[in-house]
Amino acid sequence: QKEVEQNSGPLSVPEGAIASLNCTYSDRGSQSFFWYRQYSGKSPELIMSIYSNGDKEDGRFTAQLNKASQYVSLLIRDSQPSDSATYLCAVRVGGGSYIPTFGRGTSLIVHP
């Protein structure tokens, strides 16, 4: 059973702060890792993907992967109220059906 765990939150941060979202996974064969953002009432959209250990930066977003510890995180710098959403972590093992397993999501609230 592949498991992807996230704290459901809500995580509340002030505008301009760094928001840190964490995700752990159980399958050591996992090779691909994704962060989706889902605004209330909308569908998820991919914002970051990471495949190797270390950091990957894209604008205000940084994904961090540590395969030895089986966790992946998303940092949002200079958080804005428009970043308020639910962030879904998704993990895919190598080979097989190539279908990611989604975590339950973390709700982020950025308050002015």
- For other proteins, the binding residues (CB under 8 A) are 8, 32, 34, 36, 42-46, 49, 88, 90, 92, 97-100, 102-105
In this structure, the number of other CB atoms found within 10 A of the CB of residue 6 comes to 20
| Residue closer to other proteins, measured from CB, 20 or 32 | 32
Rounded least distance, CB 16 to other proteins, Å: 29
What 3-state class would DSSP assign to 75?
strand
Q: Which is nearer to other proteins, 48 or 110 (CB)?
A: 48
Report, in Å, the least distance between residue 76 CB and other proteins. 20
In the bound state with other proteins, the residue whose beta carbon lies nearer, of 82 and 97, is: 97
Kindly provide the b/e burial profile for residues 79-101, where b requires at least 16 CB atoms within 10 angstroms of the residue's own CB.
beeebbbbbbbbbbbeeeeeebb
